[in-house]
Amino acid sequence: MHAMLPLLNTLSFPRLQRGQLEALQVNLTYLCNQRCLHCHVNAGPTRTESMTDESLALLHQVIDAHPVKTLDLTGGAPEMHPRFREIVVHARREGLRVIDRCNLTILCEPGYEDLAVFLAEQGVEVTASLPCYSRENVDKQRGDGVFDASIEGLKKLNNLGYGIFDSGLILNLVYNPQGANLPPPQAQLEIDYKAHLAEDFGIQFNHLLTITNQPIARFGSTLVSKGLFGDYMQLLRDSYRSENLDAVMCRNLVSVDWQGYLYDCDFNQMLDLPMLIPDLIGRDRPHLRDLLESSSLENNPISTRDHCFACTAGQGSSCAGALKE
């Protein structure tokens, strides 16, 4: 279990209620071929947590039973789960939009050489982390050699049609700030990314998604060690915009951990803040099986703490990028 970092007044963030369930974001495994500084999951090559066959069977049942539109697969490196491809095929067969949260370097790892071809054949949307178009900045944040491997992965995806206009294969890139700052305006940064990657490497992509670093897990610990945690939390609070509340991802998404337990978002999952189901009987935290028994989650309360200010600061932040420009 991840230790909770010091948080401020837990009553400060506004109360929120759920809307209609539209997306399942499933953390298949904490195993990853990288160990990034900003990773809120603390993923890495030595992690062993991985979704069990029992939970995967329940996941398939939930997909079949609920009008869920999107299956968002994350990790770690979700592709390193041994049944990743089976999950993708099942969801696509049921007509779901499937998103693969890809770190790009996995596409060139031994044993994964045909992964990009599989993703293209299944029409999977690839959302790939590339925190900068500069080799120096990427390698500083994610490790030596990661930038070059990421560029190789992007070229492999482009060659299959990903990111190419009107191909139907969506390739989005994800930007995270290097330090204790908010992301710059998403629209302008996307223009810069497209210009640099096209000119330097001939790479194309569809959209850039900017995501604010959450003050939890590995990044939060770094803030604490540098004496910046309080200043960063104050920045998030000072940048709060109430209009972002309508679009925060926790209203329509359920985050599922590798054990099948449910959370309002991936960040709450890392802080062990279970999703609230008021009429839950006999268990202290909801599980995938509860989605089979519940017809709707609408109007249920959302678990919030002060880290939620990261999603409402400035232009806002979600797994789909900025909420407002």
- Enumerate domains of the chain plus CATH numbers: 23-312 (3.20.20)
- What phi, psi does 72 have (nearest 5°)? -110, 110
Segment among 2-11, 111-120, 293-302, 310-319 with least mean pLDDT? 2-11
Q: How confident is the model at residue 3 (pLDDT cuts 50, 70, 90)?
A: very low
Query: Per-residue pLDDT tens for 47-71?
Result: 989 999 999 999 999 998 888 999 9
18, pLDDT greater than 60: yes
> Do the bridges between strand 70-74 and strand 97-102 make them parallel or antiparallel, or are there none, so unpaired?
parallel
In angstroms, the CA 54 to CA 65 distance is: 17
CA nearest to 203, candidates 146, 147, 149, 164: 164
pTM above 0.95, yes or no: no
Q: What is the pLDDT of residues 145-194, one digit of tens each?
A: 788 999 999 999 999 999 999 999 999 999 988 789 999 999 999 999 99
Calculate the alpha carbon distances from 150 to 13, 106, 107, 288 in Å.
37, 9, 9, 34
What is the structure's pLDDT at 101? 96
Q: What is the mean pLDDT of the chain?
A: 89
At 181-222, the pLDDT tens digits run: 999 999 999 999 999 999 999 999 999 999 998 898 778 888
Please write the tens of the pLDDT for every residue from 248-280. Answer: 999 999 999 999 999 999 899 989 999 988 777
